[in-house]
Chain A
């Protein structure tokens, strides 16, 4: 496994965390997206999944974003009789997105992204040292 494969593996890590951030952004952006009419489902929270697979071209185990799963937990409901999507008893269904959980996920994605970036930086420094031998 050479330095280029290390760089490419770290790049897949960066890519996966970017995709995760995009899903988290979708969730947070739609945290208040209720349906338009009574009985219509609001936005359903999505969960990114990761899986390892061996890439023969890279020569290592890379990470890739798998299926985007739906969170099948219950929607929250709020009493808002004036809302156009309120049902007969005045309750509106809101998405099952908890912004606190999304913020925590976001932090985790950020940290993992930084760790991958650190691997890229360090690998580049090591590559630079190898090239320095040629100069020496």
Chain B
């Protein structure tokens, strides 16, 4: 189902972005912190036919932990082009971050809505009342 894997990929992107934005807001007062964001999501930029398969190591001991999904996941976090940097070297502007958080949420909601609609279409095709 290409629609579902595309939507899942996009939702995963929003999830990773939310994590980075949370980092930026939490570190908004930390000297020397510059802030990071993800590159704009683009379906055409995602080769591999929306494959979400990833390789993780097998945890045979409870003390093992996976580091594969850290640092913004597979989407590649990049430093923001800061509009202004405070004298203590912090480049996070809270207003911008709040705008990004809200935009991220709205786009995520759009994706989940489309996902739900797709499920409803599937149900209709199967002959069940949606």
Contact = CB atoms under 8 A, between A and B. Distances in A.
Contacts of B115: 133
A76 interface: no
A34 interface: no
B107 to A, nearest CB: 10
Interface in B112-129: 112, 115-116, 119-120
Interface residues of B, number: 39
Contacts, number: 124
B33 interface: yes
The 9 closest A-B pairs by CB, nearest first: A13-B26, A1-B19, A6-B22, A136-B116, A9-B22, A50-B30, A129-B112, A59-B70, A63-B26
Interface of A: 1-3, 5-7, 9-10, 12-13, 16-17, 20, 49-52, 54, 56-57, 59-63, 108, 111-112, 115-116, 118-119, 122-123, 125-126, 129-130, 132-133, 136
Interface of B: 11, 14-16, 18-23, 25-33, 65, 67, 69-70, 72-73, 94, 97-98, 101-102, 104-105, 108-109, 112, 115-116, 119-120
